[in-house]
Amino acid sequence: MIEKAMALRNMSATLVPQGGKFPALMIISAGAWGLGYFGQPHILARFMSVKSVAKLAESMTIAIIWVFLSLAGAVIVGFIGIGMFDNLTSGDEEKVFVYMISKVMHPWMAGIMLAAILSAIMSTIDSQLLVGSSALTEDFYQKAIKKDASEKEVIVAGRICVIIISVIALVLALSPNDTILGIVAYAWGGLGAAFGPVVLFALFSRRTSWQAALAGMVTGTVVLVVWKQVRLDKYMYEIVPGFVCNCLTILLANIIVGQKDEKVLRQYEEVVAEITAPK
């Protein structure tokens, strides 16, 4: 049934996209979604909050298993939805799980499942709001605006940042021409292209300096935005050129500048020694 529905819609049943001018680029774009994980602050915050280095391996295993199960479930829902609904257009495809719940479940169970969807949404929203607010408050307000801010002032500034971020998100969500997937893809790509390479180089290269990190973030962001604005994203997901240019910029900056701060180098060696120490 699913295969027939896919054939009627001219959808490819293989990894090679149907009708694309550059199928290899489309496959690379699909795989490049994984690059975005390195730059997601709400995900990195979970690893930063681990109780000890000894728990990192266990945490990574649990995280990978959970991501595999959740994404596999999403793919299965998509395949089943192809066979169940044949008239979903103009963004209604994103609501296939909701329609599926309403169609096959008792109202009581449907209510529980819909609540599960909302809880997952709220979990991501509150994580993003808290991380964004903390970054603006601690890394911008306390360091650039008022270094001697009291605890009460920091709390007030954090709450104001939460409101500002919420309003911006609301305005973006009200755009009638964007789908949820489109907005998420752009944001995911932006965070991945801007911060992903910086995180990786900070972890695996002792030569990485703040100059290299700043240059890489600016380059990755600019390349991603320009790639999107000139509509090249129809050929390749914008995170790919942004991520690659960010990496190349950091590599070049590391060669030219390098890390010369003895305190940073000492801290790097201490962390490496702690992680590589026999358990």
- Separation between Cα atoms, residue 247 and residue 196, nearest integer Å: 9
pLDDT the model gives residue 1: 62
Tell me the CB-side half-sphere exposure of residue 71, using CA atoms within 13 A.
8
- Separation between Cα atoms, residue 259 and residue 269, nearest integer Å: 13
**Residues ≥6 apart with Cβ < 8 Å to 49:** none
**Residues ≥6 apart with Cβ < 8 Å to 220:** 193, 194, 197, 242, 243, 245, 246, 249
What is the amino acid identity at position 185?
Answer: A
- Separation between Cα atoms, residue 101 and residue 116, nearest integer Å: 11
Ramachandran assignment for 258, one of left (phi > 0), alpha (psi -120 to 50 degrees), beta (any other): left
Orientation of helix 210-229 relative to helix 180-204, angle to 10°: 160
pLDDT the model gives residue 176: 64
Q: Residue 15's Cα: distance from chain center in Å?
A: 23
pLDDT the model gives residue 20: 58
pLDDT the model gives residue 47: 76
pLDDT the model gives residue 228: 92
Cβ pair 18, 171 in contact under 8 A: no
pLDDT the model gives residue 152: 86
- Separation between Cα atoms, residue 268 and residue 204, nearest integer Å: 10
Identify the segments of the chain with pLDDT beneath 50. Answer: none
**Residues ≥6 apart with Cβ < 8 Å to 235:** 21, 22, 25
Tokens in use for 58? 């266990």
pLDDT the model gives residue 70: 87
**Residues ≥6 apart with Cβ < 8 Å to 265:** 206, 259
First to last CA, the chain: 52
pLDDT in tens, 28-75: 888 898 898 898 877 777 777 777 777 777 888 888 898 899 889 888
pLDDT the model gives residue 172: 78
- Separation between Cα atoms, residue 276 and residue 53, nearest integer Å: 10
252-260: Cβ within 8 A, 24+ apart: 253/209, 253/211, 253/212, 253/215, 253/216, 254/201, 254/205, 254/207, 254/208, 254/209, 254/212, 257/209, 257/211, 257/212, 258/207, 258/209, 259/206, 259/207, 259/208, 259/209, 260/209
Tokens in use for 144? 């650039």
Tokens in use for 96? 């296939």
- Separation between Cα atoms, residue 28 and residue 50, nearest integer Å: 32
- Separation between Cα atoms, residue 189 and residue 192, nearest integer Å: 5
If 0-12 CB within 10 Å is exposed, 13-18 middle and 19+ buried, where does residue 112 land? exposed
